[in-house]
Chain A
Amino acid sequence: MFSILRINTATGEIRTEEFDSQEFLLGGRTLSSRLVSREVPAECDPLGRKNKLFFCTGVLAETITSSSDRLSIGGKSPLTGGIKESNAGGIVGTRMAQQGLRCIALEDAPKGDAAWKIVVIGKEKTELVDGGFLAGKGVYEKSELLSEKFGAKAGCMTIGPTAEILLHATGIACSDPHGVCSRYAGRGGLGAVMASKKIIAMVVLNDGEVKAEFKDSDGFKAGSKKIVQLLKENPVSTQFTKYGTAAMVDICQALKVLPTKNFRHGVLEGAEKINAQAMYDIIKERGGEGKTQHACMNPCAIQCSNVYPDKNGKLLCSPVEYETMALMGSNLCLKDLDAIAMLNRIANDAGVDTLDVGAAIGVAMEAGLVEFGDTEGAVKLMEEVRNLTPLGRILASGCRIAAKVLGVRHAPHVLGQAIPAYEPRGTKGMAMTYLSSPMGADHTFGFTLRDEEVPTSKEGKVALSKKFQVIGSRMDAMGMCNFVRYSVRNDMTPLLDLINSRYGVMIGAEEFDDVVKETLKIEHQFNTDAGLTAQDYRFSETFYEEAQPETGEVMDITDEESALARQW
């Protein structure tokens, strides 16, 4: 049986329910999206009392299997107006599993002037305690205060000051293995949803005593070893270990899809100053607290994360990932890794998504508020976000709102969520994926880039995107890190065998993919019920009218084609 802990944030009522269904077995996005679909009225106000937030662990949480403790958070998104699943690494999933929880649900909402609360979950009890002392503080300070009060090994989730005032591009920060809330479920504005319920933090204490049980313990150990072996043998995942996701800077530059100058271009002159090798060399040279490889959860055989140090070797930001290097770097024409790391740090402290706010700053630069390439100007804009100035509030509302307020037509988003770090006119496969994700423009979902024979052509991209939508959603469906897919490639058997060893439940590969496809179907239905139409699944018109200079390509994917890619 699997437990869901339901917390009514208006009345304080707390109750536990138990289920034994396949969706609770798999957990992750399989569970969170089904719960949202079933329990949240699609047409509701995302920041109102009818929305709910679900925090779900995965099927292999708290085991020795590499990278299996991803936390999936679901709700209705204030950023897109549709369904949202955003997931994060860190230790919260582990702590939840140790408390015997598959899911925590935050329900209802108190009146807006109610006091801030912290949900504290331990083996003895769950309670809502005063959280007023955290209000207005940055995420780093909140994280320290939570560690002091509840211990560095507690699994904590908190929100930034931007979320406290219900801005739409805000995320939920989760504890990493060192007790710092730096692992973000960043996309879709779920930080604001948590704030709307007057929950400023949630803490899962390190006193849980529930141990994973296995139907076939020896088989499980052997199967977990096999996953590690597959990861270590795979040259792709071993490159992650050395360079992390930053290796994408060179690849995207070579393919002319590196977002540059508010997604006007696909090539940045001087991109080598912010590429993976440059970052690797800086981290190695500065030493100190810097790390070129770092695990966001334990155990992890990939360790794609990093710790970027300042000039004195002290931690400046962890992690600095490719998507941020592009959206807060190349897209703003910044060629200074220290500046990108600083922008990332301020964003983490403010509690905003680096992609959405990076894109919003790009829009602000196009509007002429700051010149492209102006490092100091970019940092000042981020400080405006952190200080909650009127301009900062606009930027923290994401690039769609920023573009409307600032009079910029070239707004890089789909469904209001900023386009990730692959310029879509140069990669029609990724463009098809952006247009067909129920979450708004999303890169982890349907990553086609490396399998596109002719990236600039839309031919065959409906089928290619759909193929990778399934592949990309498999890991989310069971609460695993997306990069574990490099171990199993297209054969899920080793992971499905682990489920069998743990629970004695055999799920076939075809059956599992049917679950994944059913999830996508449910998510799209939610969006339709919420009022999203085919016209919403489009890029801004400028992408269709103006060619990207380096490839000469415009967006040519039709509504009919993207609708096919959303059909399950």
Chain B
Amino acid sequence: MVTVNFKLMDIGTIRVDIHKPETMAKVLQLCCTKPNVDFATIMAVRNSTIVKIDDLVEDGDVIDIFPAISGG
């Protein structure tokens, strides 16, 4: 099971089952009702490291998703 925490978004936390390592893009698709999540608008972070769209996510991973904003 992969835990995906959508921070500062209404979606909240979603847990998805994967049977083999999947790309971050695939995991997001499994999480979201909307297809084709625009990766340019979010940041995925695992263990303080940014997860790219093609990076593999494994069973047990915890991913935090943030809106990819900037400071002012």
**Residues of chain A having any CB pair with chain B under 8 Å:** 234-236, 239-240, 242-245, 247-248, 250-251, 254-256, 276-277, 304, 321-323, 326, 420-422, 443-444, 447, 449-450, 452-455, 482-483, 489, 550-551
- Judging by beta carbons under 8 Å apart, are A255 and B48 in contact? yes
Question: Once the chains are docked, how many angstroms separate the CA of A452 from the CA of B9?
Answer: 22
Q: Tally of A-B residue pairs with Cβ under 8 A?
A: 81
Distance, CA A256 to CA B41, complexed state (A): 21
Least CB distance, B69 to chain A, in whole angstroms: 5
Q: B39 CB to closest chain A CB, in angstroms?
A: 11
- CB neighbours of B50 from chain A (8 A): 255, 452-455
- B35 CB within 8 Å of chain A: no
Q: Which residue of B lies closest to A489 (CB)?
A: B40
Decide if A304 touches B8 in the complex (CB within 8 Å).
no
With A and B bound together, what is the CA distance between A90 and B48 in angstroms?
A: 37
Residues from chain B with Cβ under 8 Å of A455 in the complex: 50
Q: Which of A255, A277, A449, A452 contacts B8 (CB 8 A)?
A: A277
**Stretch of B14-22, B23-31, B60-68 contacting A (4+ beta carbons < 8 Å):** B60-68
Nearest Cβ on chain A to B57's Cβ, whole angstroms:
16
B48 in contact with A256 (CB, 8 Å): yes
Give the complex CA separation of A7 and B46 in angstroms.
Answer: 56
Interface pair B70/A248, CB less than 8 Å apart: yes
In the complex, the answer to whether A248 meets B69 with C-beta atoms within 8 Å is yes
Q: How far is B42's CA from A256's CA once the two chains are assembled, in angstroms?
A: 18
Q: How far is the CA of A429 from the CA of B24 in the complex (A)?
A: 23
- Which of chain B's residues have a CB closer than 8 A to the CB of A240? 69
Q: Quick check: is B2 within 8 A (CB to CB) of the other chain?
A: no
For B8, list chain A residues within 8 Å (CB): 239, 242-243, 247, 250, 276-277
Known: A255-B50, A453-B50, A454-B50. A239 touches B40 (CB 8 A): no
Please determine whether A254 and B70 come into contact, CB atoms closer than 8 angstroms.
no
**Shortest Cβ-Cβ A-B pairs, 5 listed:** A239-B67, A245-B72, A450-B68, A322-B71, A235-B41
> Which chain B residues border A421 with CB–CB below 8 Å?
71
* Set A236, A254, A550: member contacting B67, Cβ < 8 A: A236
B67 to chain A, nearest CB (A): 4
User: Contact at B70–A245, with CB atoms within 8 Å?
Assistant: yes
Would you call B64 and A254 a contact (CB within 8 A)?
A: yes
In the complex, residue of chain A having the shortest beta-carbon distance to the beta carbon of B70: A447
Whether B9 and A304, one on each chain, are in contact in the complex, defined by CB atoms closer than 8 angstroms, is no
